[in-house]
Amino acid sequence: MGMLQNKRILLGVTGSIAAYKSAYLVRDLIKAGAEVQVITTPSANTFVTPLTLGTLSRRPVLSDLVKDADLGVWNNHVDIGLWADIFLIAPASANTLAKMVDGEVDNLLLTTYLSARCPVFFAPAMDLEMHTHPANQSNVETLEKRGNIQIPSESGELASGLEGTGRMAEPLHIVAFLETYFAERAPLKNKKVLITAGPTYEPIDPVRFIGNRSTGKMGYAIAQTAASLGAQVTLISGPVSLKPPRNVEVIHVETAEEMYHETVARFDSCDIGILSAAVADFRPSASASEKIKKADAKMRIELEGTRDILMELGRRKGNQVLVGFALETENALQNAKGKLQAKNCDMIVLNSLRDKGAGFGHDTNKVTFVMHNKNIELELKDKSAVAKDIFECLIGEFL
């Protein structure tokens, strides 16, 4: 489902034989697009090494409250808890579950648990008799009543050789459980989002074209973010050299006319349209069928205007939210406000080529959200962070 893309997951590993599965769990969470920070209890390190978990998570494993006693450096459990979107404790041993209930804090994992403000999931792992013991079952029930979410143990062969319930849920089952959790709560669930991205190429002849410097990075970041928020996303992409976003339908086009047809054909059925593509305003009025030779050095190219996609969508707009982009070099805010009105948009994302680190080719962007009732100016950010800001604004203002 792709719901774990860019999610920050704090993985707590406790002292259980099932700790070996945590290595597979980290791998699967990373594959699902999550950022993973592992915290281990001291006893967990006897079952699986921090080197293994750190290598797979691409982050140093946190285990000790004190990082460097001589320098007075410690692992701040409050900051760790605030970083996470969810705290997943897997495997969760009977000992750790009991301490969670009683509020004991004799290791970094437990101090972080009491500090965490995010949803907490726990996947019990223990032998059959321990799992079914009334004391353990009471602890599980207490944690659930307090709002913690159990990922139930599975049945099968246990470390003792017995058969029964108590096995930690398989890593892929845990990933699916988390995907479902986020999908059910996704703010753009059941919404259809249509996005355009990249440049268009307007052919002069079979070899040459008129284009621009757009890389498509902003539009692709918007598409990936929309998918991670639960939307059904269609991305109309001009020619780019980017990896397709996860769980996004990508339709490749080349010219402004092709982008016009593909976008207009899908707009009526979408809920949100975001036009971030740098569409050519002009194209050659005629394209040569054969390569034009260099000998024709005084050749002139006559241009004609392309059809305005945003204008057409604004004309068709009903209950949809329509967002346009404006890249300006002068009178930026004035021009963006004019575009907002003329093309019947709900918001214009304004960026300027005069801002360092913004515009074409960069991994960062500096934008202003221009709306009918207000403007919101943002600082220079990574384009994925800008994409998140766009949807936070749309959800808060229009949905």
Active-site annotation, residues: 212
Contacts of 265 (CB under 8 A, 6+ apart): none
> How is 81-95 classified by DSSP, letter by letter?
HHH-SEEEEEEE-HH
Per DSSP, 303 falls in state E
What is the C-alpha separation between 399 and 396, in angstroms, rounded? Answer: 7
Within its chain, how far is the Cα of 145 from the centroid? Answer: 31
H-assigned helices in 147-216: 171-184
Q: If we measure between CA atoms, which residue out of 62, 49, 51, 146 comes closest to residue 109?
A: 62
Within its chain, how far is the Cα of 226 from the centroid? Answer: 8
Note whether 61 and 53 are within 8 A (CB). yes
Phi, psi values for residue 365, rounded to 5°? -155, 150
What is the C-alpha separation between 330 and 353, in angstroms, rounded? Answer: 9
Q: State whether residue 296 is helix, strand or coil.
A: coil
Phi, psi values for residue 121, rounded to 5°? -110, 145
Note whether 346 and 326 are within 8 A (CB). no
Note whether 337 and 373 are within 8 A (CB). no
